[in-house]
Each structure stands twice: as structure tokens, then as C-alpha cells.
Structure 1
Amino acid sequence: MGEQTYSDIQRKKTSIIDSLIHLGIYKKGNKQLYELTLHELETEYHIVNPEIQDISF
């Protein structure tokens, strides 16, 4: 896998956050979604949407 630029990572984080908000998820524990890392967001997305294996945003 090649290097991802900061803007690519931010774009992916934003897309996942938008999807989680659409599903009714606004926080993880005591953290707002925007405070989570990309990996944490992807993990949370897989937890609430287990049938989705590949997150392609």
C-alpha cells in the first residue's frame, strides 16, 4: 500500500464520520468522532456495520 497524504486521510475520516452520523453515532465513549483516529473510525464503522468489509470512501 502506498503512502496516503494528509488530505486523503482527512477526506476518508470525514466520509466515515458522515456515515456514522447518518447511522446515529455521534460519539465513541467520551470522545467526539472528529477526535478519533482513522483506524478508530474504521473499527467503529465495522462494529456498527459488520456486513461491510471494505470501506471505500
Structure 2
Amino acid sequence: MSEQIYPDIQRRKNSITDSLIHLGIYKKGNKQLYELTLHELETEYQIVNPAIQDLSF
């Protein structure tokens, strides 16, 4: 993976994780948020906040 892509993905994961925590969500099933993939985090965020269509953090 490119040296630039990994930090961008991690930054996006952190941003979505922070948003979910702010909404009171700390886990999905038996997994902590930090264990989820970017795709899983984006999906969870869209489920709990369906009004948000644009996930550009």
C-alpha cells in the first residue's frame, strides 16, 4: 500500500470512530470500533445516522 494511502485511511477511520463514539456507539457486536475495517465503520455510521450521505470527513 502506498505510503500516502495508509495514513489517509487511518485518519478517516479515526474520524468516523470519533463520530460514532460521540453518538454513543462503542462496539459493534463483540468488536471494539478500532477493530473494524474502514468499510465496516462507514456502514455502521450510515446505519446509525442515515441522514448523512456524504462521509467526507
Which category describes the TM-score, using the shorter chain as reference length? over 0.9
- How far off is 1:16 after superposition? 0.1
Q: TM-score, normalised by structure 1?
A: 0.92
CA RMSD of aligned residues (A): 1.3
The offset of 1:53, in angstroms, is 0.4
Segments of 5+ residues of structure 2 without an aligned counterpart are: none
What residue identity is the alignment partner of 2:45? Y
Give secondary structure in 1 for the equivalent of 2:54.
coil
Residue of structure 1 in register with 2:25 after alignment: 25
User: Could you tell me which amino acid in structure 2 is paired with residue 46 of structure 1?
Assistant: Q
Size of the alignment, in residue pairs? 55
Gaps of 5+ in 1: none
Task: Please identify runs of 4+ aligned residues in structure 1 that moved more than 6 A.
Answer: none
User: Aligned partners of 1:44, 1:12: CA distance in 2, in Å?
Assistant: 14
**Identical pairs, percent:** 84
